[in-house]
Amino acid sequence: MADDSAQQVRRESGGVLEVRNLVKDYKVRGAHKKIRAINDVSFTLEAGKTIALVGESGSGKSTIAKSIMQLVKPSEGQILLDGKPIARHGAGLRRYRKDVQMVFQDPFGSLNPFHPVGHHIERPLRIHRAVPEGMTIEEKVHELLERVNLTPAADIAPRRPHELSGGQRQRVAIARALAPGSRFLVADEPVSMLDVSIRLGVLNLLARLQRQENLGVLYITHDLATARHFSDEIMVMYRGDVVEQGPSDEVILNPQHEYTKTLLAAAPNPERIGQMRDEVRAEFAAAAAKD
């Protein structure tokens, strides 16, 4: 198919997902004012690269994810794929969805409890005709499940989501996001609801798939440590603004913006054992000395 070969060319050249001057205002019900969720955000995500978007809840990270995924309509600004503005509906939007996919935060909410695991992966395969010739849908579903380490795939596919653990579900969600043959992945806090001891496993899985597929990943998180280790670049968001952006080590080890510094200071760090206790005691001692 002609479309396929075009896809091939783009994949080799990598491709870019570009967010340009994105603004999103939410109307407040019953009032005439608006709340600005994101304010003039621009960045470029290249294939094979990971950008981490860090910030606290309400900073606008999720709104960026939703805007990229066309779940909300940006108030201003543009999103471009390979230099072309993306379509807002119809066949154009479908083509866009084949390229850009998302992994949600809550592995319990993002899979329909009514449908078996296989259904969730089969649908995007069918919608985007992403099964290579000479392969049945079932084989492709199994292949995807195996790629996310859900084995034996034949045993997992017919199960319902509630029969899986949180980590397993999140793997299903990742397999689903990869199914159409996506080139870009938005991962919205993909491990924050998982048990700590399995978080790195899921992140490492994402990292491996990213390398294998040369994916561009937008990793949204509030965890600075994984943001640093998992991504090439970090963007720090504060109340809708990107306040700092740069190579991850740079941002973490040599923060420039006040807010980044506050965030870093607030992040738990076992290397500071007892430090807070000592500081508090010192405060009291100083106060006592004054009296």
Query: In sequence order, which residues have a C-beta less than 8 Å from that of residue 191 and are 6 or more positions away?
Result: 170, 198, 199, 202, 203, 226
**For other proteins, which residue of 11, 23, 25, 69 counts as binding (CB under 8 A)?**
69
State the nearest-atom distance from the C-beta of 166 to other proteins, in Å. Answer: 8
**Minimum distance from residue 274 beta carbon to other proteins (Å):** 7
Q: Which of 277, 286, 289, 291 binds other proteins (CB under 8 A)?
A: 277
Ranges within 97-156 binding other proteins (CB under 8 A):
97-98, 101-102, 104-106, 109-115, 120, 123-124, 127-128, 148-152, 155
Q: State which of residues 222, 232, 246, 250 lies at the interface with other proteins (CB under 8 A).
A: 222
Site residues for other proteins, 187-216, by CB under 8 A, read 195-202, 204-205, 207-208, 211
Torsion angle of C-alpha atoms 149, 150, 152, 153, degrees rounded to 10: -120
**Binders of other proteins in range 48-67 (CB under 8 A):** 56-57
The position carrying tokens 């621009």 is: 42
Q: What sign for the dihedral angle of Cα 109, 113, 115, 117?
A: positive
d(CA 72, CA 83): 21
Minimum CB separation of residue 290 from other proteins in Å reads 16
Give CA–CA dist 242/132, Å, rounded: 41
Q: Shortest distance, CB of residue 93 to other proteins, whole angstroms?
A: 8
- Angle between helical axes of 166-178 and 117-127 (0-180°, round to 10): 10
Q: Which residue has the tokens 């969730």?
A: 120
Q: Are 202 and 167 in contact (CB under 8 A)?
A: yes
The number of helices, as runs of H, and strands, as runs of E, in the chain is 12, 10
Cα separation of 74 and 97, whole Å? 17
Q: Which of residues 12-41 bind other proteins (CB under 8 A)?
A: none
Residues 239-258 that bind other proteins (CB under 8 A): 249, 252-253
> Number of residues in contact with other proteins, rule: CB under 8 A?
87
Least Å from the CB of residue 159 to other proteins: 6
Find the part of the chain contacting other proteins (CB under 8 A) among 10-18, 25-33, 39-47, 170-178. 170-178
Selected from 1, 2, 273, 289, the binder of other proteins by CB under 8 A is 273
Pick from 34, 88, 94, 261 the residue near other proteins by CB under 8 A: 94
Interacting stretch for other proteins, rule CB under 8 A, among 13-21, 24-32, 133-141, 164-172?
164-172
Peptide bond into 158 cis (omega under 30): no
